[in-house]
Amino acid sequence: MRFQEDLTFYLNGKMASGTGTEALELLPALLARYRRLEALRHDYPLVLFRGEEGPEMRPLSALLDDALEKLPRDEEGDRLRYRARRMEQEIRKNSRDQVESLSTLWEQAQAEIAGSSSSREPGSLKEDLARLREMLPAVAQVIDCGPQAPSRALKHLWEGEQARKAARLGRRIDRLLMGLENLLRADEAASAAGLSANRLRESMGPGFASEFDFKSMSQLLTALPHTGLPESRRERIRQLIHTLKSQRFFPTALDSKEKSLYEFTFTSCAEALRAYYQRLPRMIALAKAILMAELEVEGTYREDVHDSLFRQMGISELEPLQEFPDYLIYLNVSQAPVGELFKLIEALSAGLSIKVLLQIDDLRYHLESGNGHPGGGIRSEQLARMALGLGDVFVLQAPASHLARVSEHVRRGLRYPGPALFCVYSGAQGRSEGFPPYLMAAAALESRAFPLWVYDPAAGPDWASRFSVEGNPRPEQDWPMHQLTYEDAEHQRRQEEIAFTPVDFLALDPRLSGHLSPVPPDRWHDRMVPVAVFLEEEAEDLPQRVPYLLMVDSQDRLHRVLVTRKLIQEAQRYREHWHALRELGGVCNSFVERAVAEERRAWEEELARQSAETPPEVESEQEAPVEAAVAEETVSEEAPSPTRSPDEPYIETERCSSCNECIQINDRMFRYNENKQAYIADLSAGTYEEIVRAAERCQLAIIHPGKPWNPDEPNLEELMKRAEPFL
Ligand code: SF4
């Protein structure tokens, strides 16, 4: 009876809104530990600044870590580290939903800390904070993960790239202008006007006015044959100077500050294309002018050859165009009319040098009909795949939570001499629902709802070099697995390995709460299975079991929540998409797997043939080790996973994403195993401060510092407070 009711819910959904997960404030169990995100160190806020090599974009936590690394390991160094952590926490809290200068946030945090500090604290707070501030970029902007983060971050890097190109082309133009003007000056100096008595007097200066007879000198010089520039060349040079000086594509050092330049950022593909085509004749004229001016300055321009050559020259032969500014277009899928999205594909396929940020705030609107989103007919990931199909478009898909980590890819896309599409999920829908966008974005990646991938046509000749899914957790698996530790009804600590699937991600959306139905423990039955198991079984039309999701309420109580077929179908669709991407990226490639299987079968057949030809040696003892090995395996498979004490330092090794953060802190204390996943190799090789710092830096929050092992280590009280969120 219970199963029948649950099956009806699975097949037909959906409950009346408000009777499900909303009322209980349920979160997927694996996200429960991130409820207080502000207490955890993560990639936000991001700091945008100009480094020595150009624009930089780094997490505040990483900037501080680098600065603190240089401090000595003494009392003063530890005090500064402690104060830096407090500043970081305050800035993280105050920067929520903000775009603000680092200096303003720093002053604000400083005032708050000064207000709450005791006068008995050692060392001058003011001096310490001034010292810490000097270690950070003087001018910087701080952004939180939210609707503005993708455009701010991309524009920051784009401006740096444009400034680099403009500086190169500007220098080239200024040099040419000087050369062309010198040619005209020399020509004029040798002309009758240039050799008049007055001009000769002016050129010698007032000190020599009485020393020479400028009139006779002029008569003498003008009597000589004049070998000035032919009029056609003089006119061409004047025209080139005019074209180079009047261009409005980028500033040069010789330009006046008031010069009005073209705008290159747009919020509409149609407008960007219109501007591009309107400016195209001037772009071509300027590029040709640069090439012609170079020949003029060298003195190698030949009218009989070059006039017709330049008339016929095609756009692809105009090398200076590569240095012209790129068009930056911001499109928000949820707001852009459908026509804009088709225009986008048109613009990308035209091969123009445009860079497009395609921002997605809401990944889930298509699940609910009548949502009113203008772009509702096209799924955002379809646009990225369409661009991939064009072959010569650089495409990056990444959630906003990972922007700092993919900044090198973004730079490569901006430098790519062709169209580039940056498809970014902001997670911003989460903000309006009270859930931080950073977590929404990170959950989309973790669940495979929005995997990270990059296609760089300039990276090499084949797919293996061009396409990558690196950066996704456990790419060889359908879903990443995580340890869930909880207390059961008998107050026993339990550990379970569960998958994080797209259903976990979809369960965060209050609009889908009608597809979730919590089941009280007294109604649980053995035909309920976790979502990942259900997905593995490939549900039939009339399944024999029903899927549930583990969720946690605001009191940290665990619930089983039934989900509908609609969510399962959505998860299946995400899985198919993930499989396709994975194959493109060379992970679990079906062609390779088939070839390996065939090779193995051939090898096994050959082995069987050989053993059939060889008479068997009667050695019954040989079977014993095999049996023993099987017995050992069974025991180890059945062995319960150890239950950890919160006092014990450990790493959830199987969840490690090999980011290197902990290893960089102490590579003797932390080591990688054969799967390149971190574990604690030797506690005595490091300090409690180091394991706490590693826990704070670990983006997955899988390092658990436990309790200190050396009672003589300084600042233990403070370190234990910092360790609390990770126990
Ligand atoms: S355990 Fe270390 S290497 Fe693994 S994710 Fe955490 S910080 Fe990175």
3-state SS, 226-241, equals CCCCCHHHHHHHHHHH
In the listed set 584, 602, 623, which residue is the last one of a domain according to the structure?
Answer: 584
Which of these, 165, 36, 144, 168, lies nearest to 94 by C-alpha position?
144
Contact 482, 29 (CB under 8 A): no
Q: Specify if 636 maps to a domain.
A: no
Q: What is the number of alpha carbons within 13 Å of residue 294 lying toward its C-beta?
A: 12
Residues 448 and 419 placed together within one structural domain of the fold: yes
The secondary structure of residue 147, as a DSSP letter, is: T
Q: Does the residue 18 lie in any domain? A: yes
Indicate whether 430 and 492 sit together in one domain. Answer: no
How far apart CA 493 and CA 485 sit, in angstroms, is 7
Tell me if 553 is assigned to some domain.
yes
Residue count of the chain = 727
Q: What is the pLDDT of residues 593-650, one digit of tens each?
A: 666 677 777 777 877 877 777 655 544 333 333 333 222 332 233 333 445 677 889 9
Query: Does the beta carbon of 657 sit less than 6 angstroms from any atom of ligand 1?
Result: yes
Q: Which atom of ligand 1 is nearest to the CA of 651?
A: 1
Nearest CA to ligand 1 atom 7: 698
Average pLDDT over residues 59-86: 90
Whole-number Å distance, alpha carbon 700 to ligand 1 midpoint, is 7
Q: Which residues pair with 58 in a beta bridge?
A: 47
CA–CA separation, 386 and 358 (whole Å): 13
Say which residue, 510 or 134, is predicted with more confidence.
Answer: 134
Q: Are residues 436 and 510 in the same domain?
A: no
664 lines ligand 1 (CB under 6 A): no
Which atom of ligand 1 lies nearest, measured to the CA of 698?
7
Give the distance (Å) from ligand 1 centre to CA of residue 653.
Answer: 8
Asked, for residue 24, whether it belongs to a domain, the answer is yes
Residue 322 in this model has a pLDDT that exceeds 80: yes
Cα(40) to ligand 1 centroid in Å equals 15
Is the Cβ atom of 296 under 6 angstroms away from ligand 1? no
pLDDT of residue 432: 54
Nearest-atom number in ligand 1 for the CA of 652 is 1
- Show the DSSP H helices in 193-268 as ranges: 197-204, 214-223, 231-246
Among the listed residues 408, 411, 446, the one whose alpha carbon sits nearest the alpha carbon of residue 425: 446
Tell me the angle at which helices 338-349 and 380-390 cross, rounded to the nearest 10 degrees: 20
Please determine, for residue 654, whether its predicted confidence score (pLDDT) is greater than 70: yes
187 in ligand 1 pocket by Cβ < 6 Å? no
653 vs 225 pLDDT, higher one: 653
Claim to verify: residue 461 and residue 332 sit in the same structural domain: yes
Q: Report which secondary-structure segment, H or E, holds 18.
A: none
The alpha carbon dihedral of 185, 190, 194, 199 has a sign of positive
The two tokens of residue 134 are 């000097």
Based on the fold, state whether residues 417 and 516 are members of the same structural domain. no
Both 568 and 689 in a single domain? no
Let me know if residue 110 belongs to a domain: yes
CA–centroid distance, 661 to ligand 1, in Å, is: 6
673 touches ligand 1 (CB under 6 Å): no
How many Å is the Cα radius of gyration of the chain?
34
Pocket test for ligand 1, best of 472, 654, 700 (most atoms within 8 A of CB): 700
Question: What pLDDT is recorded for position 220?
Answer: 74
Q: Whose CA is closest to atom 8 on ligand 1?
A: 659
Q: Is 695's C-beta closer than 6 angstroms to any atom of ligand 1?
A: no
pLDDT above 60 for 186: yes
d(CA 523, CA 64): 51
Confidence of residue 306 (pLDDT cuts 50, 70, 90): very high
Closest by alpha carbon to 507, among 20, 18, 25, 28? 28
347 within ligand 1 shell (Cβ under 6 A): no
In a shared domain, residues 463 and 481: no
Lowest mean pLDDT among 168-177, 316-325, 483-492, 587-596: 587-596
CA-to-CA distance for 110 and 99, rounded, in angstroms?
18
Is the CB of residue 661 below 6 angstroms from any atom belonging to ligand 1? yes
| CATH code of the domain in which 664 resides | 3.30.70.20
Q: What is the whole-number distance in angstroms between the Cα of residue 677 and the centre of ligand 1?
A: 7
Give pLDDT, residue 70. 86
Residues 721 and 702 in one domain: yes
Whether 554 and 658 map to the same domain: the answer is no
Check pocket membership of 665 for ligand 1, CB cut-off 6 A.
no
What is the CA 498 to chain-centroid distance, rounded? 27
Same domain, 489 and 435: no
Q: Which of 402, 435, 468 is the last residue of a domain?
A: 468
Could you tell me if residue 153 is inside a domain? no
How far apart are alpha carbons 279 and 291 in whole angstroms? 19
**pLDDT for position 120:** 65
d(CA 39, CA 722): 9
End position of a domain, from candidates 584, 599, 620: 584
Task: Render pLDDT for 353-411 as a digit per residue (tens, 0 to 9).
Answer: 899 999 999 886 555 544 444 444 456 677 888 899 899 999 999 999 999 999 999 99
In a 3-state reduction of DSSP, which class is residue 169? helix
Q: Looking at 266-280, 282-296, 482-496, which range is the least confident one?
A: 482-496
Residue 661 CA: which ligand 1 atom is closest? 7
Q: Which among 137, 68, 133, 65 is positioned nearest to 697, based on CA atoms?
A: 65
**Residue 666 Cβ contacting ligand 1 at under 6 Å:** no
How far is it, in rounded angstroms, from Cα 34 to Cα 438? Answer: 11
Query: Residue 76's pLDDT is what?
Result: 87
Residue 644 lies in a domain: no
Per-residue pLDDT, 625: 31
Residue 9: band (very low, low, confident or very high) from pLDDT cuts 50, 70, 90: very high
Q: What's the chain's average pLDDT?
A: 85
Residue 20 in this model has a pLDDT that exceeds 90: no
Cα 607-608-609 angle, rounded to 5 deg: 90
Q: Please tell me whether residues 335 and 460 are part of one structural domain.
A: yes
What is the CA(678)–ligand 1 centre distance, in A?
6
User: Whole-angstrom Cα distance, residue 394 to residue 414?
Assistant: 9
Ligand 1 atom nearest the C-alpha of 697 is 7
Q: Both tokens of residue 95?
A: 């920067």
Q: Is the CB of 506 under 6 A from ligand 1?
A: no
Pick 589 or 332 by higher pLDDT: 332
d(CA 492, CA 29): 17
Question: What is the structure's pLDDT at 492?
Answer: 78
What DSSP assignment string belongs to 348-382?
Answer: HHTT-SEEEEEEES-S-GGGSTT---TTTTS-HHH
CA dist., res. 437 & res. 43, Å (int): 12
Taking residues 555-562, what's their average pLDDT?
Answer: 90
The verdict on the CB of residue 702 being under 6 Å from ligand 1 is: yes
Is 134 a domain residue? yes
Structural domain boundaries, residue 347: 324-468
Closest CA to 516 of 22, 11, 20, 23: 20
Strands in 15-174 per DSSP E: 27-28, 46-51, 54-59, 99-101, 140-143
Q: Identify whether residues 336 and 426 lie together within a single domain.
A: yes
Q: How far apart are CA 347 and CA 281, in angstroms?
A: 18
pLDDT attached to residue 405? 95
* Percent of the chain surpassing pLDDT 90: 51
Mutate to test the pocket of ligand 1, among 483, 662, 680 (most ligand atoms within 8 A of CB): 662
Distance CA 129, CA 125 (A): 6
Sequence-ordered alpha helix ranges (H) in 264-334: 269-298, 303-312
- Of 446, 703, 704, 726, the residue with max ligand 1 atoms within 8 A of its CB, to mutate for a pocket test, comes to 703
Q: Is the Cβ atom of 680 under 6 angstroms away from ligand 1?
A: no
- CA of 480 from ligand 1 middle (Å) equals 15
Ligand 1 touching residue 698 (CB < 6 A) = yes
Q: Which stretch of 439-453, 533-547, 671-685 has the lowest confidence by average pLDDT?
A: 533-547
Question: Hey, whose CA ends up nearest to atom 2 of ligand 1?
Answer: 662
Q: How many domains does the chain have?
A: 4
